[in-house]
Amino acid sequence: MSTSLILALVAGGVVGLALGALGGGGGVLAVPVLVYLLGFTPAAATTAALIIVTATSLTALFAHARAGTVRWRTGLLLAAAGALPAAAAGAAAARLPQPVLTAAFAAVAGLAAVLMLRPWQTAPAGDDPGPRHARAAGTGAGLGALTGLLGVGGGFLAVPALVTVLAFEMQAAVGTSLLVISANSLASLATRGATATGIDWAVIAPFVGAAILGAWDGRRLATRVPGPRLQQAFAVLLLAVAGFMLVDALT
């Protein structure tokens, strides 16, 4: 078994665990693995990450739907708000210089880590839902743009937004986030045909397979390990990734 295949299987399992357990973070980890360990260009890596995240998110979404932890109306609202920004940003991503993409991705990875380390305060249930839903739609548009540009699903932003803005409990936020990630990723992939030519399917196919299996394990892990502990462990990993990528972009 080749080294690249082993790396793809291991990384795919970790990406799937993150998506299944936390509802996000998979794409943030997949891109640096594809670039630094598997030799993809940043543009090809963001496209490959979208393929991985889409397949894995849909699988994890199915598991959450069966468990009744997906709020479909809210998820579809966020997905609808993010569809056009995801497609537009996906078309623009191929035109950006590689160091710019790397630096932007490092910044996003660092932001994801900070959000996961901070405690999330649930919005009071008695708040007027109108402004909250307006903020949710704005969040959806931002998530779509982020997904299209950098190949990340944006769950690390969607989950805290659903908890702090719409007062979702954690499992519902994770399940609903997976719906948003799936929709945004599909919209972005529709505009990324040009960057698909650099994708090595012999690596991506086992990566996707391992990620799908990992997502099922992540769903079970989330029921056994406290959410804050999972978030903190993943945040430390993301901080290390962000620091490495930023140094690489600047040197």
What digits encode the pLDDT tens for the residues 230-244? 777 778 877 888 888
Mean pLDDT of 2-21: 84
pLDDT of residue 227: 66
pLDDT of residue 126: 52
pTM of the full predicted structure?
Answer: 0.76
86: left (phi over 0), alpha (psi -120 to 50) or beta: alpha
Q: What is the number of domains present in the chain?
A: 1
Quick check: 224 pLDDT over 90? no
Cα(114)–Cα(228) distance, rounded to whole angstroms? Answer: 13
Tens-place pLDDT, residues 43-85:
788 888 888 888 888 888 888 899 898 999 888 988 888 888 8
Mean pLDDT of 29-33: 84
pLDDT of residue 72: 93
Structural domain that includes position 218: 3-250
More confident residue, 26 or 71: 71
Coil vs helix vs strand at 36: helix
Closest CA to 36 of 211, 249, 234, 250: 249
More confident residue, 154 or 47: 47
Closest CA to 233 of 21, 35, 53, 63: 21
How confident is the prediction for the chain on average, in pLDDT? Answer: 80
Quick check: 206 pLDDT over 90? yes
